[in-house]
């Protein structure tokens, strides 16, 4: 089974109108080659992807504008280079160190020579720690497990003051089952619980709004939050996504696919 195109259509329950939300196109190897997101009939996001002979992305082109035709958009191009399992961005200066245990340290630098970020990569090629800097001060730290799943992400002010942070929890299959985001004031701004079926497919995504920092806290019961439920077709692809607020169904997203 190979997918050529995926289209998502949103259907607000208080109107008979339906809207195309996004379209995704794939090549015959299954690589995503184009993505379009729509708003008010116009393209709000437009991306194109190019790959090398190993199916690794080598170029990402993002178009920005407010039109219906690609000729009216301005492109922004990001190019990628690769060395073994480590992805390198072409326009950055890198220093690579490898210790006796096989761990790799990749350091990227700003044009003025100061450190931009450091990545610590285990012998299997997964990054388990990543530190970002601005003017030599630590601004972000990301810690991951042995297969690259993010466990913790913390942000810091330039003077070292701790800001918001995120804690992720995974199940035995390494699937995200809980995400807790804490604001600078120490309150939970996001408290998501994700549930999966026996096939490992996400069937429910719940966010319990616990404090005023949550975007929905002023309009929903904190015991409910928002709730997304997913229904799959026989190919285990999403067929319907239902969005609930306060236990009430307010939006339906329908997914359609074209196959080779």
- Does 5 share its domain with 65? yes
At 248, the pLDDT band (50, 70, 90 cuts) reads confident
d(CA 190, CA 193): 10
233 shares a domain with 171: yes
Query: HEC string of 86-97?
Result: EEEECCCEEEEE
Given the structure tokens 């490992």, which residue do they identify? 200
Residues 176 and 228 grouped into a single domain = yes
Instruction: Write down the pLDDT at residue 17.
Output: 66
Shared-domain flag, residues 75 and 88 = no
4 shares its domain with 74: yes
Q: How far apart are CA 101 and CA 34, in angstroms?
A: 40
Count CB neighbours of 143 within 10 A. Answer: 17
State mean pLDDT over 143-147.
93
Asked whether residue 94 falls in the same domain as residue 8, the answer is no
Pair 1, 43 in one domain: yes
Over the stretch 111-141, which tens digit does the pLDDT of each residue have?
777 888 899 998 888 899 999 998 889 999 9
**What pLDDT sits at residue 174?**
94
DSSP 110: -
pLDDT at 202 over 90: yes
Q: Residues 188-198: pLDDT tens digits?
A: 888 889 999 99
Model confidence pLDDT, tens digit, residues 206-241: 887 554 444 444 444 444 568 899 999 999 999 999
> Per the structure, how many domains does the chain have?
3
Sheet strands (E) in 72-149: 74-83, 86-89, 93-98, 104-109, 115-121, 127-134, 137-144
pLDDT of 141? 96
Query: Domain end: 28, 59, 83, which one?
Result: 83
Q: Could you give the angle at the alpha carbon of 146 between the alpha carbons of 142 and 149, nearest 5°?
A: 50
Give the domain extent around 243. Answer: 164-260
- Specify whether 74 is located in the same domain as 115: no
Sign of CA dihedral 230, 236, 166, 169: positive
Are 169 and 240 in a shared domain? yes
Last residue of a domain, one of 132, 160, 188: 160
Q: pTM value?
A: 0.69
Q: Which position has the token pair 């191009």?
A: 77
- The pLDDT value recorded for residue 1 is 62
32 and 66 within one domain: yes
Q: Mean pLDDT throughout 40-67? A: 83
Please answer whether residues 81 and 73 qualify as being in contact, where contact means their C-beta atoms are separated by less than 8 angstroms: no
User: In this predicted structure, what is the pLDDT of residue 233?
Assistant: 92
């Amino acid at each position: 089974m190979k997918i050529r195109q995926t289209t998502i259509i949103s259907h607000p329950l208080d109107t008979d109108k339906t809207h195309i939300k996004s379209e995704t196109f794939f090549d015959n190897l299954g690589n995503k080659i184009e993505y379009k997101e729509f708003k008010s009939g116009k393209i709000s996001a437009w991306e194109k992807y190019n790959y090398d002979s190993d199916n690794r992305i080598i170029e990402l082109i993002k178009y920005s504008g407010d039109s219906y035709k690609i000729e009216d958009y301005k492109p922004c191009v990001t190019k990628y280079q690769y060395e073994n399992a480590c992805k390198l961005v072409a326009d950055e200066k890198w220093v690579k160190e490898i210790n006796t245990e096989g761990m790799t340290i990749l350091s990227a630098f700003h044009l003025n020579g100061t450190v931009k970020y450091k990545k610590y990569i285990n012998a299997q090629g997964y990054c388990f720690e990543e530190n970002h800097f601005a003017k030599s001060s630590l601004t972000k730290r990301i810690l991951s497990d042995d297969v690259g799943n993010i466990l913790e992400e913390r942000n810091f002010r330039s003077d070292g003051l701790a800001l918001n942070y995120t804690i992720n929890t995974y199940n035995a299959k390494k699937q995200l089952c809980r995400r807790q985001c804490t604001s600078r004031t120490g309150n939970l701004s996001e408290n998501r619980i994700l549930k999966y079926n026996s096939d490992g497919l996400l069937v429910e995504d719940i966010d319990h709004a616990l404090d005023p920092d949550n975007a929905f806290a002023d309009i929903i019961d904190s015991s409910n939050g928002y709730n997304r439920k997913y229904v799959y077709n026989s190919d285990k692809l999403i067929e319907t996504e239902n969005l609930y607020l306060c236990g009430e169904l307010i939006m339906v997203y329908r997914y359609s696919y074209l196959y080779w």
